[in-house]
C-alpha cells in the first residue's frame, strides 16, 4: 500500500499539523506501509506544483489530509487543491482513479480548546470525498492544537497519549481500508490539558508576543469596531 500525507499548514517549520502527521507516518511505517509527505504550500510555490501534486494524489492508494482550522474552515491553499482535484475528476477528458479505489482520511487541529470547532471543516472533507469518488474513512478533530508547539508528540511527556493512541487506530484503519472506529475519534477529541490551563497559557502567549512586537499597551484596541 502507498499512502500520501498532505500537510495543509502554511508554516514552513514547527507546524502542529506536521507534528501530528509525522507521528501517524511513524505508526504507518511500523505497519510496513510505503509513505510520502507533501507540504501543500511548499509544493504550490513550484512552477508545476499543482500538476505534480495532482499526479502524486492520483497514484496513491490512501490519501490523508492534515490541516489547521482556519476561520472554521480549511486554509485557502488546501481549498485550492481540493477544487483542482474536483475539477480534474469531473473533466470527461481526464482519466481519474476508479471511484472508491482510493481511501481518504482528514485530520484537523484548532487553536480553540474545544474539538467541536473542527466538525464543520471535517464535514466539508466528507462532502469533498463523496463528490470526488474517494472512499471516506472518517475525520479526527483535535482542539487545543497549540499544546503541540510543533514538537514531536512523543516528546511531550504523555500529554498527547490519547491522540497518539487514536493515531495508532487511524493507522490500522488506513491499512485495513476500514472506517475510523468511534473510539479513535473520541480519544482524539479529548482535551490534552484542562481548559482553564490552556486559556491561561494562551493569554500568556499573546501578551508575550505583543510585548516582543512593542504593542502590549495596544492589545485591547479594536480598530475595525
Ligand atoms: C489565519 C488563522 C485562522 C485561524 N482560525 C481558527 C479558527 O477559526 N478556530 C480555531 O480554533 N483556531 C484557529 N486558528 C488557530 C490554528 O488552527 C491553530 O493555531 C493550529 O494549531 C495551527 O496549526 P499549524 O501549526 O499546523 O498551522 C487560526 C489560525 C490562523 C493563523
Confidence at residue 108, expressed as pLDDT on a 0 to 100 scale: 98
Instruction: Mark whether 168 and 208 lie in a shared domain.
Output: no
Instruction: Mark whether 182 and 214 lie in a shared domain.
Output: no
Ligand 1 centre distance from Cα of residue 121 (Å): 12
Instruction: Mark whether 94 and 205 lie in a shared domain.
Output: no
Confidence at residue 99, expressed as pLDDT on a 0 to 100 scale: 80
Instruction: Mark whether 213 and 170 lie in a shared domain.
Output: no
Instruction: Mark whether 85 and 131 lie in a shared domain.
Output: yes
CATH classification at residue 123 = 3.40.50.360
Among 11, 19, 39, 69, say which to mutate for ligand 1: greatest number of ligand atoms within 8 Å of CB. Answer: 69
Ligand 1 centre distance from Cα of residue 98 (Å): 34
Query: Hey, whose CA ends up nearest to atom 2 of ligand 1?
Result: 70
Instruction: Mark whether 131 and 214 lie in a shared domain.
Output: no
Ligand 1 centre distance from Cα of residue 26 (Å): 24
φ/ψ of 223, rounded to 5, equals -60, -25
Cα distance between residue 225 and residue 222, in whole Å: 6
Confidence at residue 95, expressed as pLDDT on a 0 to 100 scale: 82
Instruction: Mark whether 205 and 185 lie in a shared domain.
Output: no
- ∠ Cα 75 183 18 (to 5°): 30
Pairing of strands 2-7, 34-39: parallel
Q: What is the mean pLDDT of each run of 10 residues along the chain (225 residues)?
A: 97 95 97 96 96 96 98 98 96 84 97 97 98 97 96 95 98 98 98 94 94 95 92
What is the extent of the structural domain holding 91? 2-193
Confidence at residue 97, expressed as pLDDT on a 0 to 100 scale: 83
Instruction: Mark whether 188 and 203 lie in a shared domain.
Output: no
Instruction: Mark whether 28 and 105 lie in a shared domain.
Output: yes
Q: Which protein residues are within 6 Å of ligand 1, measured from CB?
A: 9, 11, 15-17, 68-72, 109-112, 117, 145-146
Task: Give the chain's domain count.
Answer: 2
Instruction: Mark whether 141 and 215 lie in a shared domain.
Output: no
Confidence at residue 194, expressed as pLDDT on a 0 to 100 scale: 94
Amino acid at each position: 500500500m502507498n499512502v500520501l500525507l498532505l500537510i495543509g499548514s502554511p508554516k514552513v517549520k514547527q507546524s502542529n499539523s506536521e507534528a501530528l502527521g509525522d507521528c501517524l507516518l511513524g505508526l504507518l511505517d511500523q505497519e510496513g506501509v510505503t509513505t510520502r509527505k507533501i507540504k501543500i504550500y511548499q509544493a504550490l510555490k513550484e512552477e508545476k506544483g499543482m500538476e505534480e501534486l495532482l499526479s502524486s494524489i492520483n497514484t496513491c492508494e490512501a490519501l490523508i489530509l492534515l490541516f489547521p482550522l482556519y476561520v472554521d474552515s480549511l486554509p485557502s491553499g488546501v481549498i485550492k487543491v481540493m477544487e483542482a482535484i474536483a475539477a480534474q475528476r469531473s473533466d470527461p477528458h481526464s482519466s481519474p482513479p476508479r471511484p472508491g479505489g482510493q481511501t481518504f482520511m482528514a485530520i484537523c487541529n484548532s487553536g480553540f480548546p474545544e474539538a467541536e470547532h473542527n466538525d464543520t471543516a471535517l464535514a466539508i472533507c466528507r462532502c469533498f470525498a463523496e463528490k470526488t469518488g474517494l472512499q471516506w474513512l472518517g475525520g479526527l478533530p483535535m482542539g487545543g492544537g497549540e499544546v503541540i508547539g510543533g514538537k514531536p508528540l512523543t516528546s511531550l511527556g504523555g500529554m498527547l497519549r490519547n491522540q497518539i493512541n487514536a493515531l495508532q487506530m487511524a493507522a490500522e484503519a488506513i491499512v485495513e481500508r476500514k472506517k475510523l472506529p468511534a473510539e479513535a475519534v473520541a480519544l482524539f477529541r479529548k482535551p490534552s490539558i484542562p481548559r482553564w490551563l490552556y486559556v491561561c497559557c494562551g493569554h500568556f502567549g499573546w501578551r508575550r508576543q505583543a510585548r516582543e512586537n512593542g504593542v502590549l499597551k495596544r492589545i485591547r484596541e479594536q480598530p475595525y469596531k
